[in-house]
């Protein structure tokens, strides 16, 4: 894989992004724009049209018209599937361009961005298969004069709001499945990582997506996001982001009682028993916290280590963490790039300082790196953490590992379930009974056994409690974007109940 050099990339003109509304690229109604600087290079890499309320309303109107009167919901599933596969092919044909944009706006290493783009294309391929497999049920066992048919109708217009940590992967966990069901959509990426979603618009048009079926707007969540959450012509909200913002979105959507799907935060434990595969568990611990600079809802931000091995295990994690390469995401071999925003960098460091004040020990790192440019944080390990500390309960969303210890399986489960989150977890033990007992008792949507942060399009993803509402991916993913309709059919003569017999 040839990685573009930093000097080559930064010598280019910034990417120019407009709004995709009703099949056409347009400027914001008031002409407003905003810039995005690369968090790794402190240079403007993109300029976007900044949508306002009028633009958001126009985009929703377009999606509404495309759903109520357009061809997309009426197409045969096979025709929709063909277009979704063309989108996947279009993504792969431009994967280097997409990966570079992700790197420049998010700060993640180019090699990781490339894997994300390829994984996203696979989701579009998978959604195409589901388009043809979405169906209802029939019941001919209700008596000789009754036939029941259950239909799955597309729910309508979907607002898709995505975050900045995995911009293209997460829009691809939502949009193709909504489209496979026959819905239309308005999509708003995070302000700081709008590029790849805007670029997707060209691929959708080239693939034959009807005008208005997908509208893409960039801008402020407080402005256009609010319109997308509250508008009466939106039938469903699919949101990924922080739990705090997700709660606000659910509350704001309540007036219209639209359906909501929420993929929110996590404080995910990796439980390390004393009979674990040592090298694999150490590697998974380091990978789990530093992948994507820890800016991952599934990040293994807590490790729970059995006391009998805790001192030795943590010492090795610290030594391995020292070897993690942090730096320019366009440099080969870099494993951790820049923190995506200055605000997030400040939040991460505040959590580290809070842990220090509460009595924890900063065993490694804990500071912003002294570099010529960019926003980088040292790989950080915090020990002596107890379950009541802020750093043990709250989502830090950065390269900061909190270490807790436990006595036995029951103690480990208690610690694992001691937060309000329940997105994912991992169990490390060579004893099958230990693994399966723990996996069944942990309150989380995904539990990895002797591995971590792996996934497939076929497996559902989502969380318990404050980690979200509903599931994405898996064979039922398209069903989430449907309404169920019952057809109750009477065969033959029907007797009027109010007329006397005889």
Starting from the edge strand earliest in sequence, which strands make up the sheet with 15-17, in order?
15-17, 44-49, 33-37
Distance (Å, whole) CA 495 – CA 145: 12
Query: In sequence order, which residues have a C-beta less than 8 Å from that of residue 302 and are 6 or more positions away?
Result: 267, 268, 269, 270, 392, 401, 402, 403, 404
Could you read off the pLDDT of 318-339 as tens digits, one per residue? 999 999 999 999 999 999 999 9
Asked whether 29 and 55 are in contact (CB, 8 A), the reply is: yes
CA-CA distance, 281 to 500, in Å (whole number)? 78
Angle at which helices 167-180 and 95-106 pack, to 10 degrees? 130
For 238-247, write each residue's pLDDT tens digit: 999 999 999 9
The structural domains of the chain, ordered by start, are: 21-264+463-486 (3.40.605.10), 269-449 (3.40.309.10)
Which residues are catalytic, by number?
263, 297
Q: How many CB atoms lie within 10 A of CB 424?
A: 29
The reported pLDDT for the residue numbered 502 is 59
Entry pTM: 0.96
Among candidate residues 244, 224, 206, 280, the one with its CA nearest the CA of residue 23 = 206
Residues of the chain with pLDDT below 50 are: none
Residue 356: the pLDDT is: 97
Cα 118 off chain centre by: 15
Please say whether the beta carbons of 274 and 310 come within 8 A.
no
Q: What is the pLDDT of residue 501?
A: 65
Beta strands in 252-360 (DSSP E): 259-263, 269-272, 302-306
Beta strands in 235-278 (DSSP E): 236-240, 259-263, 269-272
With 0-12 / 13-18 / 19 or more C-beta atoms within 10 angstroms meaning exposed / middle / buried, residue 386 is middle
Whether the Cβ atoms of residue 62 and residue 39 lie closer than 8 Å to each other: no
Q: What is the sign, positive or negative, of the torsion defined by CA atoms of 254, 256, 258, 261?
A: negative
Q: Report d(CA 327, CA 96) in Å as an integer.
A: 20
- Please give the pLDDT value at position 83: 98
């Amino acid at each position: 894989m040839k990685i573009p050099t930093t000097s080559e990339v930064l010598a280019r003109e910034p990417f120019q992004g407009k709004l995709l509304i009703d099949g056409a690229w347009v400027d914001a109604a008031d002409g407003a724009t905003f810039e995005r600087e690369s968090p790794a290079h402190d240079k403007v890499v993109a300029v976007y049209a900044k949508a306002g309320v009028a633009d958001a309303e126009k985009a929703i109107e377009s999606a509404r018209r495309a759903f109520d009167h357009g061809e997309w919901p009426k197409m045969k599933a096979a025709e929709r599937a063909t277009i979704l596969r063309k989108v996947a092919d279009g993504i792969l044909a431009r994967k280097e361009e997409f990966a570079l944009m992700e790197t420049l706006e998010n700060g993640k290493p180019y090699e990781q961005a490339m894997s994300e783009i390829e994984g996203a294309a696979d989701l579009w391929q998978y959604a195409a298969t589901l388009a043809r497999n979405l169906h209802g049920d029939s019941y001919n066992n209700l008596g000789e004069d009754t036939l029941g048919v259950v239909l799955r109708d597309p729910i309508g217009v979907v607002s898709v709001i995505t975050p900045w940590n995995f911009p293209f992967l997460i829009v691809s966990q939502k949009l193709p499945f909504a489209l496979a069901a026959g819905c239309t959509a308005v999509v708003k990426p995070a302000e700081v990582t709008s590029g790849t979603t805007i670029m997707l618009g060209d691929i959708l048009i080239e693939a034959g997506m009807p005008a208005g079926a997908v509208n893409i707007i960039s801008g402020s969540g407080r402005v256009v996001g609010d319109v997308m959450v509250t508008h009466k012509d939106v039938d469903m909200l699919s949101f990924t982001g922080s739990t705090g913002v997700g709660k606000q979105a659910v509350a704001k959507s309540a007036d219209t009682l639209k359906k909501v799907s929420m993929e929110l935060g996590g404080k995910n434990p990796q439980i390390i028993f004393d009979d674990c595969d040592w090298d694999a568990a150490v590697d998974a611990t380091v990978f789990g916290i530093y992948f994507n600079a820890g800016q991952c809802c599934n990040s293994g931000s807590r490790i729970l280590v059995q006391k009998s091995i805790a001192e030795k295990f943590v010492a090795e994690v610290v030594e391995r963490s020292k070897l993690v390469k942090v730096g320019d995401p366009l440099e080969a071999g870099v494993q951790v790039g820049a923190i995506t925003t200055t605000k997030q960098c400040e939040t991460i460091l505040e959590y580290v300082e809070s842990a220090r004040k509460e009595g924890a020990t900063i065993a490694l790192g804990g500071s912003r790196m002294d570099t010529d440019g960019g926003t980088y944080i040292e790989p950080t390990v915090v020990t002596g953490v107890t379950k009541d500390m802020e750093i043990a309960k709250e989502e830090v969303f950065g390269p900061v590992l909190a270490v807790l210890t436990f006595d036995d399986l029951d103690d480990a489960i208690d610690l694992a379930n001691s937060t309000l989150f329940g997105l994912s977890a991992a169990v490390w033990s060579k004893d099958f009974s230990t693994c399966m007992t723990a996996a069944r008792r942990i309150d989380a949507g995904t539990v990895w056994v002797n591995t971590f942060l792996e996934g497939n399009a076929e497996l559902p993803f989502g969380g318990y409690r404050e980690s979200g509402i509903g599931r994405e991916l898996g064979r039922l993913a398209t069903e989430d974007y449907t309404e169920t309709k019952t057809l109750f059919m009477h065969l033959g003569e029907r007797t009027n109940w109010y007329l006397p017999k005889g």
